[in-house]
Structure 1
Amino acid sequence: MENKLRAGEVFTLKVERLSDFGYFLSLGTEEVMLHKREASKELKEGETVEVFLYQDHEGRLAATMTQPKVRLDTLAWLKVVGSTKRLGVFLDIGIHKDVLLSNDDLPGPLEQWPGIGDQLYCGLRLDKKGRLFADLASEQEIVEQAEAANESHFNQMVTGHVYKLNDSGALIFTENSLIGFIHQDEMSHQLRLGERVECRVTFIRDDGRVNLSMKPRKEQAYSEDAEKIYTYLKANKGQMPYTDKSSPDEIKNEFDISKAAFKRALGKLIKENKIKQENGKTYLKI
């Protein structure tokens, strides 16, 4: 007869008999072990107890009275607590045993894998052998949790976690339940799946989703770039061999900004009468 007990679900089972190291629980003719360290109280023979089933480190079906954050039929945000290239990442589901999210379900490049402390929206699944794995939520399951943005969200700062990466950018589920998209050009660095990000709402779409940016507003960016150049000049005896005629590569290598941003920052400093350009160099005005 096919087993009725399986990992990933909660069952109410009868305490069939006691042993030195735990309790044998039964459902009909099936039995499962509840180790003493997984019991939240002492149990007596014949009483019933609600337990969650999982596989122990030897692959055997086991029980715990600790209620997990997620089951086969639910979803939750789960924290990454471990990672191994050969297998995938391990997620804390609220019991002593962590659950594996297989590398088959993760992005190809390792640098896009979740890091320790990142969070993923997941459920649980069983493979053909009945083994318990984490299962990333589908796009539809994310959509079902989302709310539509309105004009009041425009220009607001929001935080959220990356739930999907593609060639164009990253999809974010925010802490106020919005779905947002960050284009590659609007990232301050390459994002990981599950990474927590803070970003600004730059556009409200007709479908209730939002476009996001991790970059500062232009006015703020101009000021930060200008301050970077001004600090560089002060540290280099008030002069530098870079002007608005310098190559994009030179500017990128020295200041880590684009030539367009460099020219805007120079323009701001010139307008403020803080610098001047002569003979292929830029000088502080003293």
Structure 2
Amino acid sequence: MKGIRLGDYNQLKVVKKVDFGLYLDGGDEGEILLPSRYVPEGSKVGDELTVFIYLDQEERPVATTEHPLAKVGDFAYLRVAWVNEYGAFLDWGLMKDIFCPFKEQKMRMVKDNYYIVYIKLDEESYRIMATAKVERHFAPQPPSYLPGDDVDLIVWQKTDLGFKVIIDNCYPGLVYENQVFRPLHTGDRLRGYISCMRPDGKIDVMLQPTGRQQTEEFANTLLNYLHDNGGHCNLGDKSPAELIADTFKVSKKTFKKAVGDLYRRKLITIADDGITLV
């Protein structure tokens, strides 16, 4: 579809105002309707509007100012709204649900269940569709990350080793079980940090920053906790690692380093019953 990006945001000029909405200049595709319900107040001919372009029930390009949960080229965690004899239809935040045919499903999708999918343009029909076969759509080129680089993550699936994640909407990665200090669920979006780039091209990821940066960040978190809880925390060096992880989502090692840092800066005192603000 030359001239506009189907399944993505476009900045288009208003060329005509009618009773049922606005027509926008779609270039080679001609005029594209923005229905009245989506027209920003005060819009007029000549204005440029940022709109999302997809296909309506009759497979015609249509514009909306709503924001879908994903666009073409994105991975997303979507709910199945309904199923028929051709496949599943997933709720992606727009009036028309997005189609995932049976051939693009790893297993038969079930109504109201959620699945990690990739949003793409079908090469044959040029329709926007979802596929659960996400492995086919990771970036082919190896990334140039360095250890400690911060990245955006989507939790993909639980494995025996930990959690598979999707890094920066491009690459697969793994967070090992012993690096997880909070509950994780498929579809969660969170910040992570590159641990290492393995010789086989796979990427290991952590959920906490490394070294001094991690200590400084958690020391600030601990200070905020003390300020919000009467100046006292009943955890200390002898507290169980599980209790520290449940409370602060960090390892006992990180907790002890942060406590030591705050103590050296004379911001806290340490006693058998925990730590206290000075």
The TM-score normalised by the length of structure 1 is 0.50
Q: 1:221 aligns with which of 214, 227, 233?
A: 214
In structure 1, the partner of 2:133 is 137
In structure 1, the partner of 2:107 is 104
Asked if residue 210 in structure 1 is aligned to residue 203 in structure 2, the reply is yes
In the alignment, the residues of structure 2 paired with residue 229 and residue 83 of structure 1 have an alpha-carbon distance, to the nearest angstrom, of 41
**What amino acid is the match of 1:223?**
E
In the alignment, the residues of structure 1 paired with residue 158 and residue 234 of structure 2 have an alpha-carbon distance, to the nearest angstrom, of 40
**What amino acid is the match of 2:90?**
F
Q: 1:148 aligns with which of 135, 142, 147?
A: 142
User: Per the alignment, in what secondary structure is the counterpart of residue 257 of structure 2?
Assistant: helix
In structure 1, the partner of 2:118 is 120
Residue identity over aligned pairs, in percent, reads: 17
Q: Give deviations 1:207-246, integer Å, cap 9, x for gaps.
A: 3332222322332332233233334444555444433223
Asked if residue 170 in structure 1 is aligned to residue 164 in structure 2, the reply is yes
Does the CA contact (< 8 Å) of 1:238 and 1:283 recur in 2?
A: yes
What is the aligned length? 205
In structure 1, the partner of 2:194 is 201
Between stretches 241-250 and 258-267, larger displacement belongs to 241-250
In structure 1, the partner of 2:238 is 245
User: Per the alignment, in what secondary structure is the counterpart of residue 64 of structure 1?
Assistant: coil
The alignment yields a C-alpha RMSD, in angstroms, of 4.8
Alpha-carbon shift at residue 267 of structure 1 (Å): 1.5
In the alignment, the residues of structure 2 paired with residue 197 and residue 253 of structure 1 have an alpha-carbon distance, to the nearest angstrom, of 18
Gaps of 5+ in 1: 1-39, 42-55, 57-62, 68-74, 125-132
Q: Give deviations 1:54-73, integer Å, cap 9, x for gaps.
A: xx8xxxxxx63459xxxxxx
Answer with 1 or 2: which has the greater Rg.
Answer: 1
The TM-score normalised by the length of structure 2 is 0.52
User: Per the alignment, in what secondary structure is the counterpart of residue 152 of structure 2?
Assistant: strand
In structure 1, the partner of 2:45 is none
Alpha-carbon shift at residue 179 of structure 1 (Å): 3.6
In the alignment, the residues of structure 2 paired with residue 190 and residue 85 of structure 1 have an alpha-carbon distance, to the nearest angstrom, of 27
Q: 1:64 aligns with which of 34, 59, 63?
A: 59
User: Per the alignment, in what secondary structure is the counterpart of residue 155 of structure 1?
Assistant: coil
**What amino acid is the match of 1:243?**
G
**What amino acid is the match of 1:205?**
R
In the alignment, the residues of structure 1 paired with residue 75 and residue 245 of structure 2 have an alpha-carbon distance, to the nearest angstrom, of 38
In the alignment, the residues of structure 2 paired with residue 276 and residue 261 of structure 1 have an alpha-carbon distance, to the nearest angstrom, of 18
In the alignment, the residues of structure 1 paired with residue 149 and residue 257 of structure 2 have an alpha-carbon distance, to the nearest angstrom, of 25
Pair 1:120–1:283, CA change in 2 (3 A):
same
